[in-house]
Structure 1
């Protein structure tokens, strides 16, 4: 393909970008995809995810369309329940403090199942999230927290499948190509991009930006997120430095969403500074099954406030505010058996001991006396009259201590004991640009910038105070698909 005769340029190489590329190609456009990363590091943040998708569905028949190889025995041994669109929307909008862009969010919810079916048609294989999102209760897998489906093979398999599909469909890929600015006509129409040095212009009838947020931009983190955020580890792609946001803003896009907010989790204390695709499972998100203490030996969060899907994205901020930006998640033998693979990898910073005193001695820098007192006080505060059930908000909490533990409180009393040292790992930032349901980038008057589209984590206005696990890949797919097809149509109309 002559790079100056393509119809649509996609900037980015994650899930949203690939969905945009595929849908633009399906609409008949000649598509060029520019990926800043080298080939071996392609995939953006999506490659680092577990591959969970939050989707609206009415019953298990909807899921069988996504997972046609579900066996009757699996259905008999699991309760998939339902997750209606009304519940999906209400949970997501309430978690934003009712600040979310309701029109775009509603579009994401309403199109979630149809878009997942489209991904299935494009080779993506889905499976139930048995290992991370279900517990066996009374002999049945019970899914919890609104998540039941993931990509088989995780986020890396998702992007590799979509890359293969896009390449087979004729999408041209250019790696190690960093776009730095947009090419615009005098009337404001976006007709291409400039590369790193500004010398090369790649022209097209429309451009889709899908370069992620700015979580890997240390200076922007310090500027927008605030004190200490330059110290956070980067959980995902090192290439998400805000390039697309910067290009769009300079072209007249309006800044949108929560620019001081981000998705950040408990992350292994000794994880690398940037995400490494060969060292996944650095996050430690099942703190709901134990307690979390800081270097002073004190608890500082309600570990059982809600399912981890609704609270985990705020834990990075909590630990960053602790002395030394370090904490320990502590479990005993009973709850440790319920932990998923991210706690069992060899590279986990894990301490094990047969007594709490021995465990404290291994927790470097902790106030041992205060820690032991915290555990004793916590154990004594548990309401043992309520049964423990990890698959629902069981109400088994504590009384008379601060902070409380609202659900899943179990005494730390059965050896061996385990502690996992954690810090803050930032996943992505919430601030970005404003789009409509077609993925068109909007200016301060809500007027679309001609031939400019955006998708994925650079879209602002969907997440604010909290984040519902699995919604990111869903939103990237839905908006990316919409942006691609509408960009293709706009380009093809303009060029006759």
Structure 2
């Protein structure tokens, strides 16, 4: 009989992305020994965080706040850039309106209210940030202007963020085990006492005084997607980490944790129709400056309803609902220079033509006559008397169409024309475990499960239907930090009650 390998620590963290590593660092700096279980091999560490741009949303009041987060900014940077402000109240309002006022107000308040202090905490742990020029700001009249409430990203994007978190965890002597797949919580009537896991193919266990679950949702599990999100979601393109398959959530449900949040909802974006799953470079997010058509050649969504980072996480679902689960984004030369960097490169499904008639014949799977009629009617409906401005919701709209375009509506009449084939990509799921303000996982009686904490995409109740861009990484950091602090406090109390020296 194979002997079970045994480990022991104060706190075990399941998962190793942004939320998990923030929890590990927080617990460690609060005096606890920490072991992290990462299901993936070291070469694929970091969960979904690795696949992000590192863009993060936080509340700030102006230049003095930003100097604390990005100390390398110069006087010239501030002179050439309008960073604006993003008060906590506006962040909270965005959380409410994006989720149709279903977000858990207590969790949303913690997220928005702690966002700036958490950013300062991250900076204190050597995470560096820079402005998102190019994706969140356009230069108008010689000055960059940021829009949409999000201005910063981690140096090196998602991989840079993950690398910095791991370096800091290593400096603090956090133990990380790779190829370590958690499968079961060790628990009894007194609470949770550790985790059973497969380590390099062998059943092992780690005994601990507290467990923090931060292993993501189930976006990479087509069976769970279909069961909870509904028909066709098994056909969605899976983005991000292939290891986010829902075991962390299921382990907690198995011991009586209560499910929470939008289990039939997810973060879903439009991206390249033909890229393999789990491949970087999927997203195609400059759609506000063009039109999107389906297989019938018809528009089906208001491309200019709001800034991109307030609509992109729900428009993938609309593409999934179209015939064949695909669409095409169409642009002309007036706006081609505004397309994000993801539209360039070798792994892009793109066609180009000098005329609309020629383009219509190149749109694979699209009715050419329907497309040409759509463009004709769209061009006739565009308000020519309103100036175009990509930095604000400019009100340049269409009139008299069944599907209105509310902003940035330019006529499509200057060739050459460009078109990009897109489909639905799922990034992360919104349903998960219920936690309280201390990040303690709640059971079906709405009581805390002693010694069990949750953070990151595994937590339910924050996002419904939609998502403000950058709020996911912020939520992971805020609740990871809170989970680490409270798990450390929990074990210190346990040690004191046992009469042990801390």
Could you say whether these structures have the same fold, taking a TM-score greater than 0.5 normalized by the shorter chain as the test? yes
Structure 1 residue runs of 5 or longer lacking an equivalent are: none
Equivalent residue for 1:105? 108
Secondary structure of the corresponding residue to residue 474 of structure 2: helix
CA contact (8 A) 2:453 2:487 kept: yes
> Is residue 43 from structure 1 mapped to residue 46 from structure 2 by the alignment?
yes
Match of 1:169 in 2: 172
Find the aligned partners of 2:245 and 2:7 in 1 and give their Cα distance: 26
**Aligned counterparts of 1:135 and 1:343: Cα–Cα separation in 2:** 17
User: Normalised by the size of structure 1, how large is the TM-score?
Assistant: 0.97
- Asked if the contact 2:6–2:204 (Cα under 8 Å) also holds between the matched residues in 1, the reply is no
1:95-494 matches, within 5 Å, as 95-185=98-188, 187-196=189-198, 199-273=203-277, 275-276=278-279, 280-494=280-494
- Matched residue of 2:243: which SS? coil
Deviation of residue 3 (structure 1)?
A: 6.1
Aligned residue for 1:183, secondary structure, equals: strand
After TM superposition, what 4+ stretches of structure 1 lie above 6 angstroms from structure 2?
none
Does the residue aligned with 1:194 lie in a helix, a strand or coil? strand
1:74 to 66, 74, 77: 77
Q: Deviations over 1:363-404 (max 9, x none)?
A: 111111111111111111001111111111111100111201
How far is the alpha carbon of 1:281 from its aligned partner? 2.2
**Deviation at residue 188 of structure 1 after TM alignment:** 3.5
Q: Provide Cα deviations, 1:53-87, integer angstroms capped at 9, x if missing partner.
A: 11000111101111111011111111000000001
Superposed CA deviations along residues 244-264 of structure 1, whole A, max 9, x for unmatched, are 100111111110000000000
SS in 2 for 1:150: strand
Q: Counterpart of 2:499?
A: none
Contact 2:326 2:421 in 1 (8 A): yes
**Taking structure 1 as reference, are residues 198 and 461 closer, same or farther at Cα in structure 2, changes over 3 Å only?**
farther
Are the counterparts in 1 of residues 390 and 408 from structure 2 also a CA contact under 8 Å?
yes
1:85-109, Cα deviation, whole Å (9 max, x unpaired): 0010011012212111111110111
Instruction: Measure the CA separation in 1 of the matches of 2:284 and 2:239.
Output: 12
Displacement of 1:200:
2.4
Aligned partners of 1:402 and 1:313: how far apart in 2? 23
Residue 270 of structure 2 contacts residue 316 of structure 2 at CA under 8 Å; is this kept in 1? yes
Say which SS state the counterpart of residue 130 (structure 2) adopts.
strand
Is 2:88 the partner of 1:85?
A: yes
Q: TM-score, normalised by structure 2?
A: 0.96
Q: Which 10-residue stretch deviates more, 11-20 or 443-452? A: 443-452
The offset of 1:429, in angstroms, is 0.4
In the TM superposition, residue 495 of structure 1 has moved relative to its aligned partner by: 2.5
What number of residue pairs does the alignment pair up? 490
Distance 1:415 1:97 in 2: 40
- Counterpart check, 1:16 vs 2:19: yes
SS of the residue corresponding to residue 117 of structure 1 reads: helix
Tell me the CA shift for residue 445 of structure 1.
3.0
Deviations 1:91-149 (A, max 9, x none): 10122121111111101111101111111111111011111001112211111111111
Give the C-alpha shift of residue 345 in structure 1: 2.4
Distance between the aligned counterparts of 2:133 and 2:119, measured in 1? 19
| Partner Cα separation in structure 1 for residue 364 and residue 261 of structure 2 | 39
1:474, distance to aligned residue in structure 2 (A): 0.2
The CA deviation string for residues 33-54 of structure 1, in whole angstroms up to 9 with x for no partner, is 0000000001100100111111
Q: Distance in 2 between matches of 1:446 and 1:62?
A: 38
Aligned counterparts of 1:428 and 1:144: Cα–Cα separation in 2: 24
Most deviating of 435-444 and 84-93: 435-444
* Local SS of the residue matching 2:338: coil
2:172 and 2:234 map into 1 onto residues whose CA distance is: 41
Instruction: State the partner residue of 2:500.
Output: none
User: Does the 8 A contact of 2:288 with 2:304 survive in 1?
Assistant: yes
Query: Contact 1:281/1:341 (CA < 8 Å) preserved in 2?
Result: no
Whether the 8 Å contact between 1:432 and 1:458 is mirrored in structure 2 is: yes
Q: Does structure 2 conserve the Cα–Cα contact (< 8 Å) formed by 1:3 and 1:32?
A: no
SS across alignment from 2:7: coil
Structure 1 residue 355 displacement after superposition: 1.1
